[in-house]
Structure 1
């Protein structure tokens, strides 16, 4: 499991609107997590838990932290990996702590500031979905501060390996990376006009054009036109009604 993305969490300013939006666009169902003293909603694809939804913590907006999706990566030892994040030039923003009966986590950024979380679950992990199953997260993309530095960092942390690399011309190299031999995402140096590095998560839908219409009618803003990618899939990128970045991927238009 070490190095596998296992959870996705949306921190936002309007959880009710966000819940209705993603249920409609991606096809998830939602249930209250029943966590004492905390409103936390679970997103499901069928019977599989995919992610969570919560109100942004106090102080985040004052620090100009926008609504965003945060990816959780499984690790063998949260404390040891958090220490390694610091040793390799990253930053630990929330020190390792336990979620009772759930697991242990830490929130960190890479050397250029892209945020992600470390996680080790308590007990056996739930059965995993096929990567491209509808409602799952099919792709993980890093707009990096610097591709070479970022890949070295994540490779040391998670054991990710290089898969195909695509020359994107003026945009530079797009490096696909793999976990246990399975391609799970790509990373590239961010364009100069993009102010900060970030992770972007691609949610699987059955057909792209219909999902785009659902997203736009729900208040999303398109960030790029639909685009075919190697392998024949189609992608589109958006900000949701509260401003969080997300993307959709489908096997057909």
Structure 2
């Protein structure tokens, strides 16, 4: 059998531009019920979440229709949840040196949840949180054998079944902008006024608008929200509800003609979708 982690490197490989940092290169669903998550997301987004692989602690790959990957699924065990892990979506951000990045994040007021560790044939990762508490991974991937210049394509502003928008909901947008700018080189000069809700600041990385940062909604704790692109928000809403999901917001139109919605999957994980009506 082909090693799924080797295949994952194809997607999560670093771009060869000196000291690369700041790209979202992988997305991971942490859930207590991978089979239930498969039934839901395969129907709603169009993925094909693969089987558990024993040698990688039951890790599953999220397959796309084009034969590549959108991310992975990690099963939350009872022990993990007893130690504070909660069902959620997490993003992986590319860094040139995981240990140095973790040290810089801690010095800036962030926190380490999972210390830097090596995954054979994949790379080095650590789970951290920004000073306001929003969690994410930092990663330095190993390039796949025979393809040292491979680049991740799990984020795309246009393609289906991929994350099309990375949105940080935080208790201190100004501090968050400073933190992510210093750590990953992101800029956030452009914004859209949201009235009493403040500013919706767009995040740019290497000239590409990758998402935005805004204040928290409805008392939620700071966290990252990832919008998966689907062909039709109307159909996706209907499918989400039919499969046991609950819609918390939307559908609503956003600038550019897309529509979005935010919901909660049957396992209690917040999810977000973007697409045409």
TM-score, normalising length: structure 2: 0.86
Distance in 2 (CA, whole Å) between partners of 1:245 and 1:22 is 12
Residue ranges of structure 2 left out of the alignment (5+ in a row): 1-19
Alignment partner for residue 235 of structure 1, among 235, 260, 275?
260
Cα displacement (A) at 1:64: 5.3
Is 1:149 the counterpart of 2:175? The answer is yes
Partner residue in 1 for 2:221: 196
Distance in 1 (CA, whole Å) between partners of 2:190 and 2:39 is 37
Is 1:78 the counterpart of 2:103? The answer is no
Instruction: Give the secondary-structure state (helix, strand or coil) at the position aligned to 1:231.
Output: coil
More helix per residue: 2
Cα displacement (A) at 1:35: 5.3
Distance in 2 (CA, whole Å) between partners of 1:91 and 1:127 is 26
Cα displacement (A) at 1:134: 0.5
Cα displacement (A) at 1:111: 0.3
Partner residue in 1 for 2:115: 95
Contact (CA 8 Å) 2:76, 2:85: kept in 1 or not? no
Q: How has the CA–CA distance of structure 1 residues 165 and 9 changed in structure 2, closer, same or farther, with 3 Å as cutoff?
A: same
The two structures, once aligned, show a CA RMSD in angstroms of: 1.6
Distance in 2 (CA, whole Å) between partners of 1:58 and 1:34 is 19
Cα displacement (A) at 1:60: 3.7
Alignment partner for residue 211 of structure 1, among 209, 217, 236?
236
Instruction: Give the secondary-structure state (helix, strand or coil) at the position aligned to 2:214.
Output: strand
Distance in 2 (CA, whole Å) between partners of 1:54 and 1:118 is 16
Contact (CA 8 Å) 1:25, 1:215: kept in 2 or not? yes
Alignment partner for residue 38 of structure 1, among 32, 57, 81?
57
Contact (CA 8 Å) 1:222, 1:238: kept in 2 or not? yes
Alignment partner for residue 37 of structure 2, among 18, 21, 28?
18
Alignment partner for residue 119 of structure 1, among 111, 129, 139?
139
Cα displacement (A) at 1:31: 2.3
Q: How has the CA–CA distance of structure 1 residues 33 and 119 changed in structure 2, closer, same or farther, with 3 Å as cutoff?
A: farther
Distance in 2 (CA, whole Å) between partners of 1:114 and 1:32 is 29
Partner residue in 2 for 1:169: 195
Distance in 1 (CA, whole Å) between partners of 2:127 and 2:77 is 13
Query: Size of the alignment, in residue pairs?
Result: 251
Distance in 2 (CA, whole Å) between partners of 1:79 and 1:35 is 28
Cα displacement (A) at 1:59: 3.3
Cα displacement (A) at 1:121: 0.7
Is 1:28 the counterpart of 2:47? The answer is yes
Distance in 2 (CA, whole Å) between partners of 1:59 and 1:148 is 36
Instruction: Give the secondary-structure state (helix, strand or coil) at the position aligned to 1:151.
Output: helix
Cα displacement (A) at 1:30: 2.4
